[in-house]
Amino acid sequence: MITITHYLVLSAILFTVGVIGVLIRRNAIIIFMCIELMLNAVNLSFVACAHYLNSMQGQLFVFFTMTVAAAEAAVGLAIIVAVFRNKETINIDDINIMKW
Amino acid sequence: MLNLVALILLFPLIGTVINGLAGKRLRKETVGYLACGAIGLSFLVSFMVFIGLLQLPPGERLFEKHLFRWIESGSFISAAALQVDPLSVVMILVITGVGFLIHIYSIGYMHHDKGYHRYFCYLNLFVFSMLLLVLSNNFLLMFIGWEAVGLCSYLLIGFWFEKKSASDAAKKAFVVNRVGDFGFALGIMLIFLTFHSIDFTEVFSAVSHGNFEKGSFTVTMITLLLFIGATGKSAQIPLYTWLPDAMEGPTPVSALIHAATMVTAGVYMIARCNALYLLSPFTMTVVASIGVITALFAATIGLVQNDIKRVLAYSTISQLGYMFLACGVGAFTAGVFHLMTHAFFKALLFLASGSVIHALSGEQDIRKMGGLKPHIPVTYKTFLIGTVAIAGIPPFAGFFSKDEILLEALVRGNFIYWSLGAFAALLTAFYMFRLLFMTFHGECRVDHHAMEHLHESPKNMTLPLVALAGLSFVGGFFGIPGANALEHFLAPVLGGHGHTEVSGTVSAGHHGAWLPYLMMVISTAIALVGIFLAYQMYIKKPELSKKLAERFRLIHKLLLNKYYIDEIYDAIFINPTKKISTQVLWKVIDVRMIDGSVNGIARLVGRIGSVLRHLQTGYIRNYAFYIVVGCILIIVLAVFGR
């Protein structure tokens, strides 16, 4: 029997993987994908809880999240392309001019 | 009619506002008429209030007009309210009456001045402040008037502020007055602490109900502190030094300061607080002693001064000393009586001296005058009346009031007061007639430039002189012994505090009816001796005065330099203050401590910032890391922190 706990643990693992990816990877595209991973981990827990509580609100939120994620992907990718055109790199350690 | 009392204050205020805001765009005539009209209307209303008050029975002559609630804070309540009683009515009549004449005179005197509208704006404000001072029904409102009078004196003494001496004199007047006002303010605070009220009626009724025993420490402190304020405003020892320097202002201003307003404030205040003062015999002794010493002291300085206005200034200080002597021996009515007559003849003398100065194109040194009698007859005659009045020759105003003060000083005080006062009266007669003789009689010492322009003043200057001369002549009859109208009028305010007899005539009952008449003869004789001496020295044998000055060179030099009081004050108070200010307050406290701490804080913030800005690495990874750490902290707190 797969209980709510299983879902939530999976969601937590996915989320943590995403966070660690954001923190340690250098490639902007991969960081971007990690963010998507975090968002989907949250989606998973939404759906699981919605099923568990017999409520549609959680499922509704998932749609919102996916819409926002799609918009974010469009804007984020556009930014990365623009950065690449200017700097010839998407290694975020080379993009550090916003500092003291 | 009593309800109109607020209008008395309103008219001068309107005049001030209009002349102050729009005076520059108005025509000169309009400015002058507006200012005079404001005071004139104020005088009319004052007279109506006076009539209204007379219609009440003597015991009920107290009217309070509540204007608005002003300050309420806990148990402290101060309303803006006016009080009409015999004392304040006498004061407003003198202030507006004499003030009105001085305003008219100013139209002629200040005609060529470019600050014409500014002058009349200040002048109206001055009268307004003084009226506020005498009409208020509590100490705080009185203090507002008290301070405003000081401010106006500063503005008017420094009216020709391009001249350094004038702006210095203005500053001196302001600062010296501040010293006195400090005492006055402390006195008011102590009154509130003691009586839990600052209303005149409440304070004085608390006193008269005998809640305080005679000579109690608190009351002595209160009265002494208030008296410090009075010495500042009314130019008594030790705070009199500003008054002679105040001569730097235009002459009508000197007349206004010396006669109708400002210097009378202290005497008025003590008369108003007579219930308090009577409770403290020690303070009364102080007041009387300071008064009589000042009277004598200033008179001796007046003997040798050569500036026409300065002689008058010292005579003012001397006459104020008499008023304080009267208050100090408990004869408040005599003090107020002398205040009134003094307002008439001193305004007259100042305006007449202004007319002399005007005629001589600005010359003030009496050594460069003389023989002016045929050239400016009206000025001469009025000046003569003023001089006779101040010297104390019957039946002129000064005789009755001064005689009454001397009589009271003898009856209620002691022989020392009387003898010092009488000696000062001798000196007064002497130096005033010296002034008269040196200005108008003898050979002409005017230089020929001024001689060419020598002219009698225009009508609007001589008419006030004539009016004031008339008042100086009849002013004494208000308080003539026997049928003392002023005394009966003032009795509800000044006489009803457990004193058996106030009048000199009645108190003479204890000493025999002959005493007042004997005293009259003696004071007249004293005045005549003074006049005779002056006549001998300055008309008969003009070389005699020089010989005397040679003979008593030290004393002469001492008097000429005003006992070096200014120099002593400089050495004791002013220079140390300046030194402490520059060496300690400026160079240490201000530069090092205040500036240093402000700059230090700025530098500290800079240092911290230069360390902290290294957190801003520019690596997104670091920022993300901070965010994660923050999130984890929040979660930990939310879960375990309860």
Tens-place pLDDT, residues B463-516: 999 999 998 888 888 777 666 778 788 888 876 433 334 444 444 445 567 777
Q: Where are the beta strands (DSSP E) in B333-492?
A: none
Smallest Cβ distance to B616: which of A22, A93, A100?
A100
Q: Is residue A16 part of a domain?
A: yes
In a domain, A25, yes or no: yes
- Judge whether A39 lies within some domain: yes
- CA A20 to chain B, closest CA, distance in angstroms equals 9
Domains contained in chain A, number: 1
Summarize pLDDT for B597-610 with one digit per residue, the tens: 999 999 999 999 99
The answer to whether residue A34 is domain-embedded is yes
User: DSSP characters for B395-458?
Assistant: TSHHHHHHHHHHHHHHHTS-HHHHHHHHHHHHHHHHHHHHHHHHHHSSS----HHHHHT--PPP
Give me chain A's average pLDDT, please. Answer: 91
Instruction: Please report, for the domain that includes residue A66, its CATH number.
Output: 1.10.287.3510
> For B319-353, what is each residue's pLDDT tens digit?
999 999 999 998 898 899 999 999 999 999 999 99
pLDDT of residue B95: 93
The closest alpha carbon to B80, from B136, B143, B131, belongs to B136
Compute the nearest-CA separation of B615 from chain A (Å): 9
Domain contains A43 = yes
Yes or no, beta carbons of A23 and B624 under 8 Å apart: yes
CA nearest A98 in B: which residue?
B618
CB B325 within 8 A of CB B302: no
Please indicate, yes or no, if residue A93 is contained in any of the structural domains: no
Residue A92 lies in a domain: no
Question: Rounded distance, CA B247 to CA B168, Å?
Answer: 12
- CA-CA distance, B44 to B30, in Å (whole number)? 20
pTM of the model: 0.80
- State mean pLDDT over B370-383: 87
C-alpha to C-alpha distance for B624 and A25, rounded to whole angstroms? 12
Q: What is the pLDDT of residue A100?
A: 65
For residue A9, the enclosing domain spans 4-87
Helices (H), chain A: 4-24, 28-53, 57-87
Distance CA B190, CA B192 (A): 5
Q: How many angstroms separate the CA atoms of A62 and A48, rounded?
A: 11
Residue B576 is predicted with a pLDDT of: 92
Q: How far is it, in rounded angstroms, from Cα B521 to Cα A2?
A: 131
Mean per-residue pLDDT over chain B, rounded: 87
Q: Do B619 and A96 touch (CB under 8 A)?
A: yes
| Amino acid identity at B308 | I
Judging by DSSP bridges, how do beta strands B63-73 and B76-84 pair with one another? antiparallel
Q: Over the stretch B244-257, which tens digit does the pLDDT of each residue have? A: 888 888 999 988 88
**Per-residue confidence (pLDDT) for residue B212, from 0 to 100:** 76
Asked if the bond preceding B395 is cis, omega within 30° of 0, the reply is: yes
Residue-wise DSSP of B161-193: TTSHHHHHHHHHHHHHHHHHHHHHHHHHHHHHH
- pLDDT (average), residues B126-135: 93
Query: Does the beta-carbon distance from B628 to A100 stay under 8 Å?
Result: no
Report if residue A83 sits inside a domain. yes
Q: Best interface-test mutation with A: which of B616, B621, B627, B632 has the largest number of A CBs within 10 A?
A: B621
**Distance, CA of B600 to CA of B248 (rounded, Å):** 47
Using CA of residue B68, residue B72, residue B75, residue B78, what is the dihedral sign? negative
